[in-house]
Structure 1
């Protein structure tokens, strides 16, 4: 089941081929949902996800056509109808369906999809490669928005072909920014660090909660910092993964929380 523009549908094939999502005029957020034994649904940091969705849509000058309550309540209704305990809820806003070209349609598109996932507590450590050929521009505002993941997806496939689980992306200033699907945190000489937004980093919701709950410094980090770090992690709203090796060099596996 999906939700699109105020309606629930069993058939997921609802997006028009003329929707501006084809031109990258879109933003999304992905949050963790948990269905309790009594049937209640917990949307982890739902309000923070909606707030970021609005920030990113505003950056692209795309109006968000539905309120926080409507989008979060609709997400919970889909989760309730699904089997399982943990789910990835994706809320996406597009500029809408329109004529050929870059003009902004009058009506935007909003849709919600839900997918079952494994218990985040059971996530396994990953091996990563530092990607040095496909780089992200620190000054490009799109690298700070959850929208087009084409470069990250290409880098991840490239790393997978070489036997790695994920990739560490770099910017044009030779600083590490993120993994393909999450923010990164490292511990270097006992100090926890995460790349700053100015380096071309997405303002992850889990990243924000960790900055508030832990002593983590926002600071640019180099590939050398990662190669010599004490430990490192990939974090996003669906969980925390320890990095067990970087470019084939083993790293200690530690719990971040």
Structure 2
């Protein structure tokens, strides 16, 4: 089911044309949200991130674009999709048609898509999950890389490389050759009681689950959480590696080259994340 500016359409309805700025220039932002039994996980965080990103890109935020409106439009779209209690929602915002690189207007439109999910909980998989470095192209270490924009061609090419070489994911590097993130989420490394994740200044996505885990770990006296640059040389020294995103929650990495990782901390974190998600709703 698709919601275009408040009107619901079927998945087979085509409404974008060759002048769409999201298509022409990647002039678009999106939020991917998890919705279970009509409750949006971490609603406020997603809404505030989208509003902040729109301001950075100089998009005009409509007066009615409140958090209540954001929630209502998502729920309306979910109700049009009756396949199960759990959904993956993509809320896309793009600048309206007109202009070349410089737009004629900063007014926006939005599209909401809803797809069913199998599980109502975050579940840690137990299958082999091998990653490798992607070194053909690099992430820029700047604020634009922190935003969830439609400019994801690097991730697309990395995904193809991963598929061609039978990896489950790839780790993206910035121009300083530091590990930034995975194709589809933020990266955490565990070494003893120290847990590291790349800082925003290195170019990683400002992930919602990343923020939640950092906050959670800061309050846990059993761990020390550090936002520090991660060198590829440090990957094989770590005890554990996991990837985070809104839909999957936590994904345990089992293998990187000759290194086999534990999944002990990820198992603890996914339980706490489920509890946090339920509290949030």
TM-score, length-scaled by structure 1: 0.91
What does residue range 139-158 of structure 1 map to in structure 2 within 5 Å? 139=142, 141-147=143-149, 148-158=151-161
- Of residues 149-158 and 80-89 in structure 1, the stretch that sits farther from structure 2 once superposed is 80-89
Is the CA contact (8 Å cut-off) linking 2:61 and 2:107 kept in structure 1?
no
Residue 224 of structure 2 corresponds to residue 210 of structure 1:
no
Return the offset for 1:210: 0.9
- String of CA shifts for 1:101-146, please: whole Å, max 9, x gaps: 532425311111111123253342521111122211213x331111
CA RMSD of the aligned region, Å? 1.7
How far off is 1:98 after superposition?
2.0
The separation in 1 between residues aligned to 2:258 and 2:111, in whole angstroms, is 40
- Structure (1/2) with the larger helix percentage: 2
> What residue is the counterpart of 2:277 in the other structure?
none
Q: Which residue matches 1:38? A: none
Q: Which runs of 5 or more structure 1 residues have no equivalent in the other structure?
A: 36-40
Q: State the partner residue of 1:44.
A: 41
Runs of 4+ in 1 over 6 A off after TM superposition: none
Indicate whether 1:20 and 2:37 are aligned. no
Contact 2:191 2:238 in 1 (8 A): yes
Contact 2:191 2:240 in 1 (8 A): yes
Q: State how far apart, in whole Å, the 2-side matches of 1:226 and 1:106 are.
A: 43
CA distance in 2, matches of 1:213, 1:101: 42
Higher strand share: 1
Contact 2:58/2:106 (<8 A) preserved: no
The answer to whether 1:242 aligns with 2:252 is: yes
In the alignment, what sits opposite 2:175? Answer: 172
Q: Which of the residues 219, 228, 237 maps onto 1:219?
A: 228
What SS does structure 1 have at the residue aligned with 2:136? strand
Question: Which whole-Å deviations, capped at 9, do the CAs of 1:10-57 have from their partners, x for residues lacking one?
Answer: 25422232111021111111011112xxxxx11001111011011111
**How far, CA to CA, are the matches of 1:18 and 1:190 in structure 2?**
52
Count of residue pairs the alignment pairs up: 251
In structure 1, the partner of 2:222 is none
* 2:240 equivalent to 1:231: yes
Q: Separation in 2 of the partners of 1:90 and 1:104? A: 26
Is the Cα–Cα contact under 8 Å of residues 87 and 114 in structure 1 kept in the other structure? yes
> Alignment partner of 2:215: what SS?
helix
Q: Provide the TM-score with structure 2 as the length reference.
A: 0.84
Look up the match of 1:73: 72
Paired residue secondary structure (1:122): coil
1:16, 1:97 within 8 Å by CA — same for their partners in 2? no
Q: 1:195 aligns with which of 186, 195, 198?
A: 198
Deviates more, 1:226-235 or 1:79-88: 79-88
